[in-house]
Amino acid sequence: METHAEAGKEGKPSCASVDLQGDSSLQVEISDASCLPHFAQTEFSVVRQHEEFIWLHDAYVENEEYAGLIIPPAPPRPDFEASREKLQKLGEGDSSVTREEFAKMKQELEAEYLAIFKKTVAMHEVFLQRLAAHPTLRRDHNFFVFLEYGQDLSVRGKNRKELLGGFLRNIVKSADEALITGMSGLKEVDDFFEHERTFLLEYHTRIRDACLRADRVMRAHKCLADDYIPISAALSSLGTQEVNQLRTSFLKLAELFERLRKLEGRVASDEDLKLSDMLRYYMRDSQAAKDLLYRRLRALADYENANKALDKARTRNREVRPAESHQQLCCQRFERLSDSAKQELMDFKSRRVSSFRKNLIELAELELKHAKASTLILRNTLVALKGEP
Amino acid sequence: MAAEREPPPLGDGKPTDFEDLEDGEDLFTSTVSTLESSPSSPEPASLPAEDISANSNGPKPTEVGLDDDREDLFAEATEEVSLDSPEREPILSSEPSPAVTPVTPTTLIAPRIESKSMSAPVIFDRSREEIEEEANGDIFDIEIGVSDPEKVGDGMNAYMAYRVTTKTSLSMFSKSEFSVKRRFSDFLGLHSKLASKYLHVGYIVPPAPEKSIVGMTKVKVGKEDSSSTEFVEKRRAALERYLQRTVKHPTLLQDPDLRQFLESSELPRAVNTQALSGAGILRMVNKAADAVNKMTIKMNESDAWFEEKQQQFENLDQQLRKLHASVEALVCHRKELSANTAAFAKSAAMLELLSDYIRLIAAVKGVFDHRMKCWQKWEDAQITLLKKREAEAKMMVANKPDKIQQAKNEIREWEAKVQQGERDFEQISKTIRKEVGRFEKERVKDFKTVIIKYLESLVQTQQQLIKYWEAFLPEAKAIA
């Protein structure tokens, strides 16, 4: 199944699409890469595993050159387990469920499966597109390799040790961050960054909360929609059994609930797409921004340390030159980071704002549409019911 | 069988009717138990209830109280009064109905005098036919509300008192508007009295709301949280619906117990409704005995109407249960949704109606079971008669004159009993038919009104949603 991406501004491959193959590996297709001079052809496609995406992301993160940039967050691992489990459970299921109900539930589950499918692919695509859109990041050698190299990159998934290592590294990093910020000697020279820092921290926690709550709402809507299935079935069997006026009422009710169910399902999925996904994405993005800030801070700390070392060396009048050059390096690094970070953060902000705006508008419009539709259905049924003797 | 014969004409005030019913009580006292129906099954319901599984509120087939002889009240009854009536004083049901007279299931003979202990209503103003006409013409004007739950007392002896307000233009009530304070066990007591009087004649007595030890304990302990207020509110609504259903029934409306419940300011405490009393245990035992009994009764159903109706109600019961379960899940999820988005949970109303109807149907089934028991008694009487005849024949052969006389007497007695049984059976069949018809009509009306209300509230909710989203849209557009 293909998902085509919109062409961005000039200077980017106009059609980078990602396709999911049977064994959860993704097929990346690039067309019109004429803007990237390095590439031999203008159209090509490769097959990549999810792990290879992760590898690419890590390569970026570990690259010192990009320390001043916000690295686009890695796409989440494709997770079909939940749906598969539910499908299995439904299959074993209990006998009290009638055949029609069972068929409907199965349909729902399959639709869910498909939706997760699509989302995963979209995530991967967004990742690559952001990389391609960024003027610096897209010139990375690894990126080219990733896009071009016809054969398997032979990147194995992280084994346990590496995972553990990564986990430990995270801990060290956060401890380090705490230390740096707590360090009395370190003064944030730039107000802009100070402001950004506090903002980002707060923002990240808030958005994480919002994401969780949005998830819960969406799940409740979904459960509601699923509930309508047995209700509708029970009502229709009640209706077929009745012999008096209630019969038509019940049958109409059954129909009503069936339609309501579809609506609710759509509400749930819309909320999912527009709200939850967006929140989730920006949660990860703000995490990346935080990482950037951390790196800069680290650079600042290093710079400070280099200064101190230089002073010490000067007083001792030993090894002044290496200390000096080291200090120079640190200073340069720090300044470079600061500049690019500033740019990146402002980009991040504008990107974020526009994306929120678009999604929220779309969400509101969709909710309105659904609410109006369900009002219509309900009114019609009411009229029909009241009209009967 | 009896069903084919023309049932005795009703409602023309013929004294013969009353006689029949009066005599009939004796047969009833003897079967299974004389416990009044217990609207509450004691919480540790370890004994298997027959088909009333979770909603053990329906009046059980166990209770076979004594018949109330309203017929006593008709002025014409004086001449052809049966042997029993002079023994009976019209007493108001100030004593708890015969609750603790356990009788083994097999004896059929009970002294007639025992019937004295049952309660008889006071004289009514109108004859039964008038009442029925009125009911059919729907000129029936009484409104009942249950409100103002307030806590009385404290600690474990605390209880909630509800205000029962009646507005009516019926002349049998002394005032046109009045209200009294009642507690939950009063409602249960009322139900048990009504059930003991009317169930075995074939009337469908609406079941009372369920007892809930957990809920009440929370209220007693004094937790002012939302779950206990919710519980009280639910109970209040359930009590109101119960009373409304009861007064809608034209026959029940005439009952003096009901009137006393609605009117008098002081009501004797109905102790037998407590969950863990001696009476409660007894009820449990008899319920079990009855379950066994039911399994062994094999009835020759010759009346197709009854068979069909019973089947119908079985199906309906099952369906409603399923629907109830689904709607319960819906309510749960809506609550979740509303907790997350602050909306309303309207499906609870549907749920209420469904659970009410599940219990009502259990009541209907109980009525059918009664009919079955009636038939069984009749059969037994016939068998005994046969036996007595045989005994007589033997006596004749053995030529013992005194024994013969005795045998003859017994035969006469049993013949009467057989006839009685037959008449009872026909009576109960007829009553059930009428009741079921009325029940169906009520059901249709009830369901429709609730469904319409529910849908309207859904529409309202959706409209509010629309309003909110429309307000939000310009704000979203203004994000910069």
Query: pLDDT tens for residues A111-155?
Result: 777 777 778 878 888 888 888 888 888 778 888 777 777 666 666
Q: State how many domains chain B has.
A: 2
CB A268 within 8 Å of CB A299 = no
**A89 pLDDT more than 80:** no
Give the end of a domain, one of B231, B251, B276. B276
**B188 pLDDT more than 60:** yes
**A7 pLDDT more than 50:** no
Span A271-296, average pLDDT: 83
Instruction: Examine residue B197 and state whether it is found in any structural domain, yes or no.
Output: yes
CB proximity B342 to A under 8 Å:
no
- Give B239-288 pLDDT, tens digit per residue: 888 888 888 888 888 888 888 888 887 777 766 666 556 766 777 787 77
- Give B198-224 pLDDT, tens digit per residue: 877 778 888 888 877 776 776 666 666
**A183 pLDDT more than 50:** yes
Identify the pLDDT of residue B22: 40
Q: Indicate whether B244 and B370 sit together in one domain.
A: no
Q: What is the CATH number of the domain that holds B443?
A: 1.20.1270.60
Q: Which of residues 81-110 of A touch B (CB under 8 A)?
A: 96
Span A276-288, average pLDDT: 84
Q: Indicate whether B254 and B158 sit together in one domain.
A: yes
Q: What's the CA gap between B435 and B60, in Å, rounded? A: 17
**Is the Cβ pair A234, B316 closer than 8 Å?**
no
**Is the Cβ pair A231, B443 closer than 8 Å?**
no
Identify the pLDDT of residue B267: 73
Alpha carbon distances (Å) from B80 to B15, B22, B201, B221: 6, 12, 22, 58
The secondary element (H helix, E strand) that includes residue B393 is helix B347-398
- Give B426-467 pLDDT, tens digit per residue: 888 888 888 888 888 888 788 888 778 878 877 887 888 788
Q: Which residue of A has its CA nearest to B443?
A: A246
Which structural domain, as residue segments, surrounds residue B369? 344-477
Give the end of a domain, one of B276, B306, B326. B276
Identify the pLDDT of residue A359: 84
Q: Indicate whether B251 and B351 sit together in one domain.
A: no
> Which residues are bridge partners to B145 per DSSP?
B165
**B58 pLDDT more than 60:** no
Percent of residues, chain A, with pLDDT higher than 90:
0
The DSSP line for B184-213 is HHHHHHHHHHHHHHHGGGT--PPPPPPP-H
Name the residue with higher pLDDT: B143 or B89. Answer: B143
Q: Which residue of A has its CA nearest to B437?
A: A244
Identify the pLDDT of residue B114: 36
Give the end of a domain, one of B227, B247, B276. B276
CB proximity A371 to B under 8 Å:
yes
Averaged confidence pLDDT in chain A: 76
Q: What's the CA gap between B10 and B13, in Å, rounded? A: 7
Q: Could you tell me which residues come within 8 angstroms of residue A19 by beta carbon, excluding any fewer than 6 positions away?
A: A1, A2, A3, A26, A27, A28, A29, A121
Q: Indicate whether B260 and B351 sit together in one domain.
A: no
**Is the Cβ pair A361, B448 closer than 8 Å?**
no
Q: Which segment of A77-81, B66-70, B201-205, B412-416 scores lowest on mean pLDDT?
A: B66-70
Helix A278-316 and helix A320-387: axis angle, to 10°? 170
- Give A347-384 pLDDT, tens digit per residue: 888 888 888 888 888 888 888 888 888 888 888 888 88
The DSSP line for A165-187 is HHHHHHHHHHHHHHHHHH-TT--
Instruction: Examine residue B299 and state whether it is found in any structural domain, yes or no.
Output: no
Q: What is the CATH number of the domain that holds B178?
A: 3.30.1520.10
**B120 pLDDT more than 80:** no
Q: Which residue of A has its CA nearest to B336?
A: A220
Which of B85-94, B179-188, B359-368, B431-440 reaches the highest mean pLDDT?
B179-188
Residue in A227, A374, A386 nearest the CB of B462: A374
Whats the size of chain A, residue-wise?
389
**Is the Cβ pair A382, B477 closer than 8 Å?**
no
Q: What's the CA gap between A244 and A239, in Å, rounded? A: 9
**Is the Cβ pair A230, B329 closer than 8 Å?**
yes
**A272 pLDDT more than 70:** yes
Chain B partners within 8 Å of A365 (Cβ)? 473
**B113 pLDDT more than 60:** no
Instruction: Examine residue B47 and state whether it is found in any structural domain, yes or no.
Output: no
Q: Indicate whether B357 and B231 sit together in one domain.
A: no
Instruction: Examine residue B19 and state whether it is found in any structural domain, yes or no.
Output: no
Instruction: Examine residue B131 and state whether it is found in any structural domain, yes or no.
Output: no
CB proximity A324 to B under 8 Å:
no
Identify the pLDDT of residue A307: 85
- Give A33-84 pLDDT, tens digit per residue: 544 555 556 666 777 777 788 888 888 888 887 877 888 888 887 777 777 7
Identify the pLDDT of residue B385: 82
Chain B partners within 8 Å of A378 (Cβ)? 455, 458-459, 462
Averaged confidence pLDDT in chain B: 66
- Give B370-395 pLDDT, tens digit per residue: 777 777 787 888 888 888 888 778 87
Instruction: Examine residue B380 and state whether it is found in any structural domain, yes or no.
Output: yes
Q: Indicate whether B268 and B143 sit together in one domain.
A: yes
Residue B266 neighbours by CB distance under 10 Å: 8
**Measured CA angle at A220 (ends A219, A226), to 5 deg:** 90
Residue type, A116: I
Q: Which segment of A235-244, B110-119, B275-284, B297-306 scores lowest on mean pLDDT?
A: B110-119
**B129 pLDDT more than 60:** no
Phi, then psi, of A319 in degrees rounded to 5? 50, 40
Name the residue with higher pLDDT: B33 or B317. Answer: B317
Nearest to B26 by CA among B64, B80, B81: B64
ipTM: 0.71
**A13 pLDDT more than 60:** no
Identify the pLDDT of residue B84: 37
**Is the Cβ pair B476, A216 closer than 8 Å?**
no
Q: Indicate whether B143 and B258 sit together in one domain.
A: yes
**Is the Cβ pair A224, B333 closer than 8 Å?**
yes
Q: Which 3 state secondary structure label does DSSP give B34?
A: coil
Identify the pLDDT of residue A19: 60
pTM, to two decimals: 0.63
Q: Which segment of A69-83, B147-161, B284-298 scores lowest on mean pLDDT?
A: B284-298
Identify the pLDDT of residue A191: 77
The secondary element (H helix, E strand) that includes residue B151 is strand B142-152
> Which residues are bridge partners to A49 per DSSP?
A25
- Give A246-264 pLDDT, tens digit per residue: 777 787 788 888 888 788 7
Identify the pLDDT of residue B463: 85
**B479 pLDDT more than 60:** yes
CB proximity A241 to B under 8 Å:
yes
Instruction: Examine residue B20 and state whether it is found in any structural domain, yes or no.
Output: no
Instruction: Examine residue B203 and state whether it is found in any structural domain, yes or no.
Output: yes
Identify the pLDDT of residue A286: 85
**Is the Cβ pair B472, A364 closer than 8 Å?**
yes
Distance from CA of A375 to the nearest CA of B (A): 5
User: Which two three-digit tokens encode residue B288?
Assistant: 């079990």
